[in-house]
């Protein structure tokens, strides 16, 4: 079983990197897990470059692809835990894709197997990345009846 989080940007923030690294380590105690940052050299443009899209698709090939998007399905933490447990059981490999500051372009959301929303609020990409890591860890602990989720 493998979980991967792909960020279509670079964090460029030691505080977030430390927190994400901690959650990655916790998740890796149970599942094989990775975090991939894919820099988009055309950060100023409205759309992601084709090169960035190609890298994201390549890094998520063979995975159940989940895009984080406001238009996606919303869950409670318990519902997300149940959903994640089922998806890991079915596919064995799941990749969560976090967009850049401009979000996920339609050309990428069309290549996903599912879209989920972390909230009706809009988050900066580094906050969304931290939140998905925390929710993956929380889901894992819910499914294991660990006291982290009270």
CA gap 49, 13 in Å, rounded: 23
pLDDT at position 40: 65
Q: 3-class secondary structure for the chain?
A: CEEEEEECCCCCCHHHHHHHHHHHHHHHCCCEEEEEECCCCCCCCCCCCHHHHHHHHHHCCCCEEEEEEEEEEECCHHHHHHHHHHHHHHHCEEEEEECECCECCHHHHCCCCEEEECCCCCCCHHHHHHHHHHHHHHHHHHHCCCCCCC
CA gap 27, 21 in Å, rounded: 10
10: which 2 tokens?
């670079």
Task: Give this prediction's pTM.
Answer: 0.92
Residues of the chain with pLDDT under 50: 43-45
User: How far, rounded to the nearest angstrom, does the alpha carbon of residue 141 sit from its chain's CA centroid?
Assistant: 17
CA gap 115, 111 in Å, rounded: 10
pLDDT at position 47: 58
CA gap 61, 21 in Å, rounded: 23
pLDDT at position 45: 46
pLDDT at position 52: 82
- Domains of the chain, with CATH numbers? 2-143 (3.40.1280.10)
pLDDT at position 105: 87
pLDDT 10s digits, 41-56:
554 445 567 888 889 9
């Amino acid at each position: 079983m493998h979980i991967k989080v792909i960020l279509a940007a670079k964090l460029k923030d030691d505080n977030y990197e430390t927190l994400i690294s901690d959650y990655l380590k916790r998740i890796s105690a149970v599942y094989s897990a990775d975090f991939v940052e894919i820099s988009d050299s055309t950060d100023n443009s409205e759309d992601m470059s084709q090169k960035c899209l190609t890298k994201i698709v390549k890094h998520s090939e063979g995975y159940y692809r989940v895009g984080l998007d406001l238009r996606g399905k919303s869950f409670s933490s318990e519902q997300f835990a149940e959903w994640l447990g089922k998806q890991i059981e079915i596919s064995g490999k799941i990749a969560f894709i976090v967009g850049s500051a401009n979000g996920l372009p339609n050309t990428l959301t069309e290549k996903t197997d599912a879209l989920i929303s972390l909230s009706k609020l809009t988050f900066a990409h580094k906050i969304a990345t931290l939140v998905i890591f925390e929710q993956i860890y929380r889901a894992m602990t819910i499914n294991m009846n660990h006291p982290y989720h009270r």
